Amino acid sequence: MIKRSIRAILAVAVAAVLAVTPGPAARAQAQTFDFARLQSSVRDYTVVLKVKVEIAFGMQTNEQEVRLLGTVVTPEGLILFDGSTVSSEQHSSMSGASFRVTPVSIEVTTLAGRKYSAELVGVDRFTQLGFARITNAGNTRFAPVQFAMNQQFKVGSWLTAYMLLPEFVTPPVASDVGMISSLIESPEKFPLTVGFGGLEMASVLYDERLTPVGVLGTLMDPTSVSTDAGGMISGSGEGDVQLLGVVTGERIQKLVASPPRKGEDERSWLGITLQALTKDIAEFLNIGASGGIIVTDVVKGSPADKSGMKVGDVIHEINGQPVEVDMEEKVPIFQRRIAEMAPGTQVEFSVFRPHDQKVDTLRIVATLEKAPLTAANAPSYESKEFEFKVRNIVFSDYIQNNLDVGSLSGVVISDIKQSGLADVGGLEIGDIIQRIANTPVTSVEEAQAALTKIVAEKPREVVFFIWRNNKTMFVNVKTDWKMQ
């Protein structure tokens, strides 16, 4: 069942498409693109990526190869591409195992046939745009694409793009044509398109003057993924409607200036848990706002705590702009708004503070900080002998287990091979290992050192001291070194 927000957007898009169904004159206009000139210019910055990825489910892995269209966006060789298929990590609540896709190697081929090696920089979680950097170009300088800024999009305007063809076809790219079908306002401003397909994700889009105006991207359902920096709120989308449109030059420019980096998190953080200010709650609290965010908890030492924000506060404006969150499905819109601001940004919040049957109106200024590390980005170590994987404790582990931040040390078991030594011995995903044999562990480096020593000594069993479900316990894992 498609969620109401997506259904509403889709209805607007369909109505717009019907309104701009091209007649003979419009179809004639679509043929005015000077494709010969366009093909000449795109050769400077269009490349083909051949990405070898490792796909892992739990402890089982295999490798596959993916071909993608890429665009050079800096003279130093930073490349933009569709990152949705080459880097991801998801946790399965059913099996307890993680599903991961990790790039192993990237080969870059220009349309002129020159080949380079590259490495993944990172993938933006909101647009799914990936970035790779050429590593062996020497002193070579590239001619990057130049996107138009502050483009005024209009419904019915024609766009063109290039798509990547199968490897057995020459030339490797072909042109395609589409148009702006709607100007989406909520949950974000997004020029919606028709005529393009998912295989063209991250392809550069050109207007009738052949000016690059952005790349093809998708409008994300805000309910389909948690954008909370601390991992305190999660959600799951229902619907699989893919709404394609323009990721604008302004947004790309910000990403190019500070690309997402694998293993790092550059998002900002406020440090609250929250819920939507629904109409019923607003009436109950006698608050004259059509939407907002109710603060349900404030993390000690967080930007919110330092600013004086309190449990029960209702945020109804950010920097003078209303917070239009009137249902739980819209909460991630607020989270994303905070996360995309740069760490160190001072933000003014207009807050209602109910108390004693009265409501005070406050202005609270908070300085956002860099978000705590997420589980996906935490350093990890895999023990092939014990057939499990551990990672460092992160902020969300404390929150999910109702613990004070920093009150527990150890490493978290993130993966276990089914019927492996750790699994048979009684260890479980989510256990926090605090001691291995007689060695305390507070990091993956210490866990690796302790396990390496054990492998060298080959004892008949190993005792793990762990924290599980708010209590500590010992787990004896029997070894079988002949099987290793």
For the stretch 146-193, pLDDT in tens is 999 999 999 999 999 999 999 898 888 888 999 999 999 877 889 999
| Domain locations in the chain as residue ranges | 30-262, 268-370, 378-483
For residue 286, the SS3 value is coil
> Which residues have CB under 8 Å from 354's CB, separation 6+?
285, 286, 287, 312, 314, 360
pLDDT band at 13 (very low <50, low <70, confident <90, very high): very low
Distance (Å, rounded) from C-alpha 219 to C-alpha 248? 12
Q: Report percent pLDDT > 70 for the chain.
A: 84
Which H helix or E strand runs over 444?
Answer: helix 444-457
When pLDDT is averaged across residues 18-24 and rounded to a whole number, the result is: 43
Q: Domain 378-483 has what CATH class?
A: mainly beta
Question: Which range, of 92-106, 354-368, 415-429, averages the lowest pLDDT?
Answer: 92-106
pLDDT in tens, 196-250: 998 899 999 999 999 999 999 998 766 554 444 433 333 333 445 679 999 999 9
Q: Which of 329, 327, 298 is nearest to 312 (CA)?
A: 298
Does 29 have pLDDT greater than 90?
Answer: no
When pLDDT is averaged across residues 303-307 and rounded to a whole number, the result is: 95
What is the DSSP code string of 359-395?
EEEEEEEEE-EEPPPPGGGS-EEEETTTTEEEEE--H
Question: Which range, of 31-35, 120-124, 455-459, averages the lowest pLDDT?
Answer: 31-35
Identity of residue 359: V
**What does the pLDDT read at residue 400?**
80
Beta bridge partners of 204: 215
Centre a 10 Å sphere on the Cβ of residue 41 and count the other Cβ atoms it contains.
14
Kindly report each contact of residues 234-242 with a partner whose C-beta sits within 8 Å and lies 24 or more positions away, as own/partner: 235/332, 237/3, 238/1, 238/2, 238/3, 239/1, 239/2, 239/3, 239/6, 239/7, 241/2, 241/6, 241/10, 242/198, 242/218
Q: Does domain 30-262 have CATH number 2.40.10.120?
A: yes
Q: Report percent pLDDT > 90 for the chain.
A: 53
| CATH topology agreement for domains 30-262 and 378-483 | no
Does 72 have pLDDT greater than 90?
Answer: yes
With tokens 């909460």, the residue in question is 331
Does 476 have pLDDT greater than 80?
Answer: yes
**What does the pLDDT read at residue 75?**
96
Q: Which of 20, 18, 157 is nearest to 10 (CA)?
A: 18
pLDDT band at 24 (very low <50, low <70, confident <90, very high): very low
Contact between 255 and 127 under an 8 Å Cβ cutoff? The reply is: yes
Distance (Å, rounded) from C-alpha 397 to C-alpha 468? 12
Two tokens at 408? Answer: 């527990």
Q: Domain 268-370 has what CATH class?
A: mainly beta
Does 345 have pLDDT greater than 80?
Answer: yes
When pLDDT is averaged across residues 342-367 and rounded to a whole number, the result is: 92
pLDDT in tens, 426-472: 999 999 999 999 999 999 999 999 999 999 999 999 999 999 988 99
Distance (Å, rounded) from C-alpha 308 to C-alpha 280? 27
pLDDT in tens, 287-304: 988 899 999 989 888 999
Does 11 have pLDDT greater than 50?
Answer: no
Q: Which of 397, 260, 278 is nearest to 331 (CA)?
A: 278
Does 31 have pLDDT greater than 50?
Answer: yes
Two tokens at 335? Answer: 């989270």
What is each CA distance from 168 to 52, 165, 171, 193, 200, in whole angstroms?
Answer: 18, 8, 9, 29, 18
Q: What is the DSSP letter of 195?
A: S
